[in-house]
Chains A and B, each alone.
Chain A
Amino acid sequence: MAVDQVLSDRDSEDEVDDGIADFEDRRMLDDFVDVTKDEKHLMHLWNSFVRKQRVLADGHVPWACEAFSKLHGQELVHSHALFWCWRLFMIKLWNHGLLDGCTMNSCNVILEGYRGSGSYVK
């Protein structure tokens, strides 16, 4: 720690350190034995996203999904398995009434954009 940091009157005691929180989160998720690697990865990405973006209310979820798709789009389209998890998770959110069809579609349009046109045909 530099001297000015020490004297800066800044106190981070009560703050959640993102790096540590991510680490903890990953560790907790790793404890699950019957969850696939990709599921865990998606869960971790989501948890991290929700924490950093302070997604607190149900009403934030549609925004969060779109922002998540933009933020992690590249990664999501790269891995079929991860993409699959994300799709299932969106369905899950829809089941809970947290995500509407319109937003789900927008998310997938965003992801299609990452993938390049037409290539999502099998």
Chain B
Amino acid sequence: MTLETIPPRLFLLPSSPTSLVIGAKQKRSRAAERATMVSRAADDAPSKFSQKWPGEKSSECLGNFAYRISQLHKEIQAERIGFVRESVERNGKKVQSYACQLLLAASRNGGIARSLSTRIDDPLCKYVGLAQGLGDKDGIGSHEVVPSKNIKLPYVEKLPPYTAWIFLDRNQRMAEDQSVVGRRRIYYDQHGSETLICSDSEEEIAELEEDRHDYSEGEDRIIWTAFEEYGCTEDVQNILSQFVGGTALEIQDRYKLLQQQSHEDHNLNVKHPAAINHDKGISLEKTLSATLDSFDNIFCRRCLVFDCRLHGCSQNVIYPNEKQPYFYEHDNDWTPCSDHCYLHLRAARKSTESSAISSIYRRKGKSSQGKEEVAASSSAEELDLDIVSDQGCISVNIAPVPHISTRDTSGTVAHHLEKQKDVEDNITALDDPNLIGDNISQGYPVKRLKKLSSDEDELQKCTHFELRKRSSEKIGCSDETSNEKCEDVVMAGANDAKDLPHEAPSTSGSQNTMRDETEVVVELPKPEQPSIMQQSQGKSCSSEWKPIEKELYLKGVEIFGRNSCLIARNMLSGLKTCTEVSNYMHNGGSSVPHRSIAAPTSLTEDSGDADMTSTEQENPIRTRLIRKRGRARKLKYSWKSAGHPSIWKRIADGKNQSCKQYVPCGCQSLCGKECPCLDNGTCCEKYCGCSKSCKNRFRGCHCAKSQCRSRQCPCFAAGRECDPDVCRNCWVSCGDGSLGEPPRRGDGQCGNMRLLLRQQQRILLAKSDVAGWGAFLKNSVNKNDYLGEYTGELISHREADKRGKIYDRANSSFLFDLNDQYVLDAYRKGDKLKFANHSSNPNCYAKVMLVAGDHRVGIFAKERIEASEELFYDYRYGPDQAPAWARKPEGSKRDDSLVSQGRAKKHQSH
């Protein structure tokens, strides 16, 4: 066999009746072949290579090579022939085993030839009454014969052509594969009754379908063997290209692909040391942002759903610049969160959790003072010590103060409530008799602070931000922090016992009393054994912290402050216990995260503290990080300002303004000149990153009783629907009632959320009085009532131009100009209002409304419309663009009064 005779496609399957079965087998055997191919190549490679390649002249080598290739060729072919033959035989047997049963069955019925007629004689079922033909003649069945008569049917006007569309209850962005740009389109020309290719020469894009070579298994094997044995040189490639076909470059690429595949196969076999926690289905090695990636990509922050069809996936993720205040637990009991709660250990552990995230630190001076106090005050009255343990000998364990300080940022209410919590908290902590008992029996000084909770409440009411210490001992901390609103600098003193109206005058050692009604501050000298033991225990049981756990912890601190119960419950449940979180917190394993907003002034306040210093060092790093991210995010938007020349128009600008597509900006704090929204002429919305006080924000309305249905409402005047999150009184509820509903806010009687709430009329579809199908109203409505939304696919103007060409030829278009970026196309997807016809004297009007940042088209009644009237609105074509049927009668004036949104390209015929 000469080389030339070998077909480029080496092995084709014989077309046999069993080819289907063979095809199925093929897959498996191919895989097997690949495996042998790889292994053989691997075996052969070293020997051949060392024998032939080095030292020999390339010409000889190539001669050898060509010979080897042709050998290989034959070999493969022979294998293949054998394999195919075998398969045919195997499958032939199988088929036979099935077929003989059938043949048997057929012969039993008197032979194949007669089986059909026997079936007719003996049908599975009979239909009575209608059969006039064959059945009668055969005389089978007893049915009545309907005498055939000539009936003259009345003439019925032809129905409009059938039309099919996909119902959309809301607009959708066009899916990528629905685009007609760059595609050859074929349409049926009714006038010529022929099918034509829609082409416009200037934009006909030659589709460069690359004539790609498909490689068969055999070819792959040859390529693989050749390269493995002879190396990847040009000569080899050239020879191979003769054998296999395709250019040398293609062959090289193919080889690379094969290499990759074999590599992957190999990897598959080797078991992956995957870091996946199989129990939990959680990968702990990934970072938090990587784990959140799918949510970030798929969740639509605007529609609150995943895989939103309007805004699409992989939107730019914009986080609000303003974070929420920390959460301060105040409506459930402050009890140990679990068996592993740090509260249980508190009494025997050093506690620095007091140092709140909001950078509250005790002053060194004070703590040393505290030390003295403790030393001096075994007989003293109630103390509430809060001493940074780093300072040395004393650690204060049950400390209401720290919690108060943690929560200072939330303002007064939380502040008060928290204190109460702390009291309860401490009491509960004492409920563990062992710990306390131990401590007491070991003779540690126990300070008691007696507070009845009712008193505590009172206290909280009267002491607002500051609890002054009356006594000279003045222990405690003064904590300063700035909360979100920045102006509230909260001074929270430690509750000095003496401030309390119901203080117990002297220390009581009684455990019972303590448990019943007291708050106890247990002090342990730090170097003492128990606390160290506790810590080491804590460490040993807290296994290594995985990256994501650390990140979750930090996120928890961001959300909850340094409250290990809450962090453990909400962030790390199932991963870490409260105790572990607490230990981690104290062992400084965490850089203390600060929010970017946290004012540095609050940090510098207590700069004497050792903890403090470390925090300060870490803080700038963290802020820098955040800033960097902010910048990166901003960069993403630059395309926008670049793409659109800034045409600055105000919202209430006038009638024929072209709406601008809103894209949320990611500006930090206030929007400046570089804000893309400002640049684009849109308002900032709640979806923007900028602060709520941004000057470019649309602020909603404060309408009380007007129901926002007139231009007195700023939302209505701006062509917007009211937003329950922004407008003061325009609240809507949610939920179908089965799960309760959210608390009401405002007394929403708003009549300007009709698109949002889909408060639409029933539309009927019927044959139009004018042309084709038409939309009709079921129930009568009043002027300016909302009838429904004109929904469709959101397509770009470019796409619309392309589609429009075909639509215009068919004289049936459903395009509607939405804004500067999008056109609505209801041709394939839409709702029944797409059938409302054009009229120059219509009873409806279309209006583009901004609903939650999106433009939507509402159809409204222009006058009172009675039930079952047909709906018309003015398509508002430009004077030159309108098809003949939509041209205005001479001299008619356009009524612009209500329709403010420019031309609609939509037109429709029939």
Task: For B724, give its contact among A56, A88, A118, A120 (CB under 8 Å).
Answer: A56
With A43-B307, A61-B304, A105-B566 in contact, do A91 and B735 touch (Cβ < 8 Å)?
A: no
With A54-B734, A57-B734 in contact, do A47 and B306 touch (Cβ < 8 Å)?
A: yes
A 40-58 contacts with B by CB, 8 A: 43-44, 46-47, 50-58
Query: With A and B bound together, what is the CA distance between A105 and B571 in angstroms?
Result: 10
Query: With A and B bound together, what is the CA distance between A99 and B299 in angstroms?
Result: 15
- Taking the complex as formed, is B123 at the interface, i.e. its CB lies under 8 A from any CB of chain A? no
Query: With A and B bound together, what is the CA distance between A51 and B298 in angstroms?
Result: 16
Q: Report chain B residues within 8 Å CB of A62.
A: 742
With A56-B734, A100-B324 in contact, do A84 and B319 touch (Cβ < 8 Å)?
A: no
Query: With A and B bound together, what is the CA distance between A80 and B292 in angstroms?
Result: 16
Query: With A and B bound together, what is the CA distance between A114 and B331 in angstroms?
Result: 19
- Taking the complex as formed, is A7 at the interface, i.e. its CB lies under 8 A from any CB of chain B? no
Task: For A108, give its contact among B169, B291, B573 (CB under 8 Å).
Answer: B573
Write out, one digit per residue, whether chain B residues 308-341 have a CB within 8 A of any chain A CB (1) or not (0).
Answer: 0100000000011011101111011000001110
Write out, one digit per residue, whether chain A residues 29-71 have a CB within 8 A of any chain B CB (1) or not (0).
Answer: 1001011101100011011001111111111111110010011
The answer to whether B575 touches A122, judged by C-beta atoms less than 8 angstroms apart, is yes
The answer to whether A80 touches B725, judged by C-beta atoms less than 8 angstroms apart, is no
Q: Report chain B residues within 8 Å CB of A50.
A: 304-305
The answer to whether A14 touches B167, judged by C-beta atoms less than 8 angstroms apart, is yes
Interface size bucket, A side?
A: 35 or more
Q: Report chain A residues within 8 Å CB of B296.
A: 92
The answer to whether A92 touches B724, judged by C-beta atoms less than 8 angstroms apart, is no
Query: With A and B bound together, what is the CA distance between A29 and B735 in angstroms?
Result: 24
Closest CB in chain B relative to A44 CB, distance in Å: 8
- Partner-binding segment picked from B276-284, B363-371, B797-805: B276-284
Query: With A and B bound together, what is the CA distance between A61 and B724 in angstroms?
Result: 12
Write out, one digit per residue, whether chain B residues 719-743 have a CB within 8 A of any chain A CB (1) or not (0).
Answer: 0000111000001101110011111
Query: With A and B bound together, what is the CA distance between A102 and B55 in angstroms?
Result: 78
The answer to whether A55 touches B304, judged by C-beta atoms less than 8 angstroms apart, is yes
With A39-B294, A120-B338 in contact, do A105 and B734 touch (Cβ < 8 Å)?
A: no
The answer to whether B577 touches A59, judged by C-beta atoms less than 8 angstroms apart, is no
The answer to whether B326 touches A101, judged by C-beta atoms less than 8 angstroms apart, is yes
The answer to whether A29 touches B306, judged by C-beta atoms less than 8 angstroms apart, is yes
B 87-103 contacts with A by CB, 8 A: none
Number of residues of chain B lying within 8 A (CB) of chain A: 72
Query: With A and B bound together, what is the CA distance between A112 and B742 in angstroms?
Result: 22
The answer to whether B736 touches A60, judged by C-beta atoms less than 8 angstroms apart, is no
Query: With A and B bound together, what is the CA distance between A81 and B760 in angstroms?
Result: 41
- Taking the complex as formed, is B686 at the interface, i.e. its CB lies under 8 A from any CB of chain A? yes
Closest CB in chain A relative to B172 CB, distance in Å: 11
Closest CB in chain A relative to B890 CB, distance in Å: 39
A 71-101 contacts with B by CB, 8 A: 71, 79-81, 83-84, 87-92, 94-98, 100-101
The answer to whether A57 touches B320, judged by C-beta atoms less than 8 angstroms apart, is no
Query: With A and B bound together, what is the CA distance between A51 and B724 in angstroms?
Result: 18
Q: Report chain B residues within 8 Å CB of A38.
A: 281
The answer to whether A13 touches B832, judged by C-beta atoms less than 8 angstroms apart, is yes
The answer to whether B734 touches A104, judged by C-beta atoms less than 8 angstroms apart, is no
Closest CB in chain B relative to A34 CB, distance in Å: 7
The answer to whether A14 touches B832, judged by C-beta atoms less than 8 angstroms apart, is yes
The answer to whether B298 touches A35, judged by C-beta atoms less than 8 angstroms apart, is yes
Q: Report chain B residues within 8 Å CB of A120.
A: 338, 569, 573-574
The answer to whether A13 touches B167, judged by C-beta atoms less than 8 angstroms apart, is yes
Q: Report chain B residues within 8 Å CB of A1.
A: none
The answer to whether A59 touches B324, judged by C-beta atoms less than 8 angstroms apart, is no
- Taking the complex as formed, is B174 at the interface, i.e. its CB lies under 8 A from any CB of chain A? no
- Taking the complex as formed, is A4 at the interface, i.e. its CB lies under 8 A from any CB of chain B? no
Q: Report chain A residues within 8 Å CB of B309.
A: 28
With A47-B306, A57-B723, A88-B292 in contact, do A122 and B577 touch (Cβ < 8 Å)?
A: yes
The answer to whether B169 touches A100, judged by C-beta atoms less than 8 angstroms apart, is no
Query: With A and B bound together, what is the CA distance between A4 and B429 in angstroms?
Result: 67
The residue of chain A having its C-beta at the shortest distance from the C-beta of B324 within the complex is A100
Task: For B732, give its contact among A46, A51, A57 (CB under 8 Å).
Answer: A57
Query: With A and B bound together, what is the CA distance between A32 and B279 in angstroms?
Result: 24
- Taking the complex as formed, is B301 at the interface, i.e. its CB lies under 8 A from any CB of chain A? yes
The answer to whether A51 touches B831, judged by C-beta atoms less than 8 angstroms apart, is no
**A residues whose Cβ falls under 8 Å from a Cβ of B:** 11, 13-14, 16, 25, 28-29, 32, 34-36, 38-39, 43-44, 46-47, 50-64, 67, 70-71, 79-81, 83-84, 87-92, 94-98, 100-102, 104-105, 108-109, 112, 118, 120-122
21 example contacts (A-B, Cβ-Cβ < 8 A) are as follows A16-B169, A32-B294, A32-B307, A50-B304, A56-B734, A56-B756, A57-B725, A63-B742, A67-B735, A83-B574, A87-B573, A90-B570, A91-B571, A94-B324, A101-B324, A101-B560, A104-B570, A105-B327, A105-B560, A112-B573, A121-B339
Given A38-B281, A55-B734, A57-B724, 12 more A-B residue pairs with CB atoms under 8 Å apart are A29-B298, A36-B294, A43-B298, A46-B305, A46-B306, A54-B734, A57-B732, A58-B686, A60-B742, A63-B734, A94-B324, A102-B329
**B residues whose Cβ falls under 8 Å from a Cβ of A:** 167, 169, 279-282, 288, 291-292, 294-296, 298-299, 301, 304-307, 309, 319-320, 322-324, 326-329, 331-332, 338-340, 552, 555, 559-560, 566, 569-571, 573-577, 686, 723-725, 731-732, 734-736, 739-743, 745, 756-757, 760, 762-764, 788, 831-832, 852
The 7 closest A-B pairs by CB, nearest first: A101-B327, A81-B281, A63-B742, A80-B280, A43-B306, A67-B739, A57-B724
